[in-house]
Structure 1
């Protein structure tokens, strides 16, 4: 009996070592991706595309070899504890999807995405979608082929969406986004019809060097672990890494210091989730974030429920005034209003206010669904994008750079990613409501710059579990309820009703 138990344990430990090897290859590829977006010289693309392609192929080969299949078959026939069963469940899912996709296609997609990044940058700089369009067409074809291999009988967009949110389902995404569109479009219209004019205290120019110092101040205030992270700039802000190395990037606009601060806080939310994952499970699903809905909930809870609150600005406004003496006359209420102002003419998602933000998501969601399903062609994208902005937001982009080229995601081949931004925002409101129940003086703690209890609550209810639970299980574990948009809808109606006297 003891020998059989030892054999079982040995099998699981051998399996786990293989899983960790795959994870380390993928994490190394992630660092190369970070470098390409942040520090790599422009001429490095030909070599970098080959390097990332090779690592993608190695990870794919390790995941799909016969030995991995044998481990999974063997372990699924044994009695496992909850943590072991969760690891096997997550690896089985990855294995089944990966074994259906030829390694050659995985390499092709990796190579194309590496080559797509400079094309997207060039197209955006030149304000010319036609520069990026041929690469986008290639990526769409490759991702359709990828989805076809995984499940030829399913909607290809649903297959791609499951790469980013495997458990809530495309129906939940469609229902949630439809509800946000139906609830927010009239709310945005009411805001526009309001006679209330919110304050705009930051007028003029604010040098980027001092803005960077202020971004470091805000990361210090919120509790970023610099020993396991760093701050850099990138054309499109992002966060990446592992529990031991969770990096953030931001970008600066001399006329919009609040934009950089909100971006930094947003990416901090991602990084603090990553840093909060259990060290002892690094390299396994138990040491990885649940999925992008969960990840986006962490960035949005810090950006919107903390960073855009009055309580936060009571704490942080003195730091702004210290860095920028020209802001001396700004009051807490002024900055609170500025941080929550709804802009009628904002065309850029990452600069959008909390309400119109979701219309940006809806537009890309509807377009990329149609693109992957073959209902429209790549050549239709720019015009259709502009039409939908006019329909949902009442504004029409004048340039491709402000329109369909504004976000980097399609150059990554990330079709199906975008709905998780809104799903994450909805979950953030649900989580914050639960946190307030458990931490009755949470607002006062934010006002005092004391974030330990909130960090600990998020770690205890979200971060520490890694992928132990499925998304729906994690949400119920943290909040006692199923995923719902009710809290978000109530939150925005109450907040913006008060701001705009609706």
Structure 2
């Protein structure tokens, strides 16, 4: 949202601040490209060089933010007359500056080196099903992140400090309350579903599905949804993710010949992330107004497209003929059967990214519990596999047969991203709230999806979420879009209604 040219010229300190933060964000953007390369196409032997490169860039970005003139410029703007957009820029830069200024540069470099080395160790440990191979790296990262949190606020809950890295506008207390509400709703709902005698088409996608054809079909679905391949690309990676900015937003996914729905839903999920990134204003690239509003909002975009669109009955009426053309073995499948298969609640799914829409959040709560215990010193790294397995038995009635299918399945801890996991469930909660608001405002939203017209929904999201960048803090942005602050009511109503109807509860 660029500043109106007819407005009074901003103070010199603001213009200088904008220049500094644009340079800082350019280095951060370059770091992200190197990280994408490491996860997608870098040769296996490239880790030592990449470790040095990323550590150096991390040091440079820290210097640009902390050792330059940003602090003086922020001080000069304390009492300046600024537009609401300019005030938002100063607020966001100040938040980042205050945190960064409290952390020594050598610790920043050490964290960057540790995460680069941990990524390769995690990939190898996962491949070899050997948690002990990853454990020393995890222990090092836990200790480094405790130090990091202590520098920022030595008197605060260290996990709350780390959570604020990903969701600075919502308190950990609010996040915990929402997760508690989800657990209270979902555990009995899942138990009812498992006890029901509904005969869903759970075997609709059994068999073998060529992965090259899956990739071609994923590209077709992305084009159908409106993904701009002039500003993006689709690749494969160990763990699906999206990376980039409004000029270059790249998607990765993964394919399993026995699970075509997994690749489809993860591709649609990543499209949601990319659509948000590509919807940010071009003119504000490199500034907070051209950056996304934290991870809960980002995740709301991916979960909205994955679940409220990609798992809807209307979408399967549209998609099934295209799927049958790609995979003739599904020629006898009906849209209703495909819809049921896409929404079945699994009894034995151990993998978070392959989980159904309901049990997914129990996977999140388990990770939230473990990483909070790790950071707060209540759990030793060596005890993580046992704690993980016991929580899976308690929440899901499942015991992972291996660490590769258990505590080694996610990439996040190898990045040192403690505090990240809660944003997935917060994003799902927000997705339901946004979808409910869009459904009220778009005339027959289901019909537009059934007709393959995704522009009304895309435009609603661009208008209400994407174009604002970080102008608003999270609750204000949600209230601007939906009329009320973030809450779990829309989500609990949505899943209760949907799955009660699906399973005849």
Q: State the alpha-carbon separation in 2 of the partners of residues 170 and 218 from structure 1.
A: 37
* Offset at residue 344 of structure 1 (A): 0.4
Return the match for 1:455 from 448, 458, 473: 458
Q: State the alpha-carbon separation in 2 of the partners of residues 245 and 7 from structure 1.
A: 31
Q: State the alpha-carbon separation in 1 of the partners of residues 183 and 443 from structure 2.
A: 32
Aligned to 2:106: 104
Q: Any conservation in 1 of the 2:10–2:82 contact (CA below 8 Å)?
A: no
Return the match for 2:329 from 326, 334, 356: 326
Aligned to 1:302: 305
Return the match for 1:208 from 187, 206, 211: 211
Return the match for 2:126 from 114, 119, 124: 124
Q: State the alpha-carbon separation in 2 of the partners of residues 95 and 398 from structure 1.
A: 45
Q: Any conservation in 2 of the 1:76–1:88 contact (CA below 8 Å)?
A: no
Aligned to 2:198: 196
Q: State the alpha-carbon separation in 2 of the partners of residues 340 and 75 from structure 1.
A: 52
Q: Secondary structure at the match of 2:165?
A: coil
In structure 2, stretches of 5+ residues that fail to align are: 1-6
CA deviation digits over 1:52-77, x for unaligned, max 9? 00000000001002511100001122
Q: State the alpha-carbon separation in 2 of the partners of residues 89 and 21 from structure 1.
A: 18
The count of residues paired between Structure 1 and Structure 2 equals 498
Stretches of 4+ aligned residues off by more than 4 angstroms? 5-8
* Offset at residue 6 of structure 1 (A): 8.6
Q: Does 1:11 align with 2:10?
A: no
Return the match for 2:439 from 436, 441, 444: 436
Aligned to 2:338: 335
CA deviation digits over 1:438-480, x for unaligned, max 9? 0021100000000111110000000000000000110100000
Alpha-carbon RMSD across the aligned residues, in angstroms, is 1.0
In structure 1, stretches of 5+ residues that fail to align are: none
Aligned to 1:485: 488
Q: Any conservation in 1 of the 2:253–2:266 contact (CA below 8 Å)?
A: yes
Q: State the alpha-carbon separation in 1 of the partners of residues 268 and 105 from structure 2.
A: 38
CA deviation digits over 1:305-357, x for unaligned, max 9? 00000100111111101111111011100110010001100000000000000
Return the match for 1:253 from 249, 256, 263: 256
Q: State the alpha-carbon separation in 2 of the partners of residues 299 and 290 from structure 1.
A: 14
Q: Does 1:498 align with 2:501?
A: yes
Aligned to 1:287: 290
Return the match for 1:350 from 343, 348, 353: 353
Q: Secondary structure at the match of 2:70?
A: helix
Aligned to 2:3: none
Aligned to 2:148: 146
CA deviation digits over 1:271-319, x for unaligned, max 9? 0000000000000000000000000000000000000001001111111
CA deviation digits over 1:357-412, x for unaligned, max 9? 00000000000000000011101100000000000001110100111001000000
* Offset at residue 433 of structure 1 (A): 0.3
Q: State the alpha-carbon separation in 2 of the partners of residues 66 and 233 from structure 1.
A: 39
Q: State the alpha-carbon separation in 2 of the partners of residues 182 and 201 from structure 1.
A: 31
Q: Any conservation in 1 of the 2:118–2:415 contact (CA below 8 Å)?
A: yes
Q: State the alpha-carbon separation in 2 of the partners of residues 7 and 483 from structure 1.
A: 36
Q: Does 1:415 align with 2:418?
A: yes
Aligned to 2:52: 50
Q: Secondary structure at the match of 1:399?
A: coil
Q: Any conservation in 1 of the 2:178–2:488 contact (CA below 8 Å)?
A: yes
Q: Any conservation in 1 of the 2:11–2:80 contact (CA below 8 Å)?
A: no
Aligned to 2:162: 160
Q: State the alpha-carbon separation in 1 of the partners of residues 408 and 459 from structure 2.
A: 39
Q: State the alpha-carbon separation in 1 of the partners of residues 118 and 349 from structure 2.
A: 26
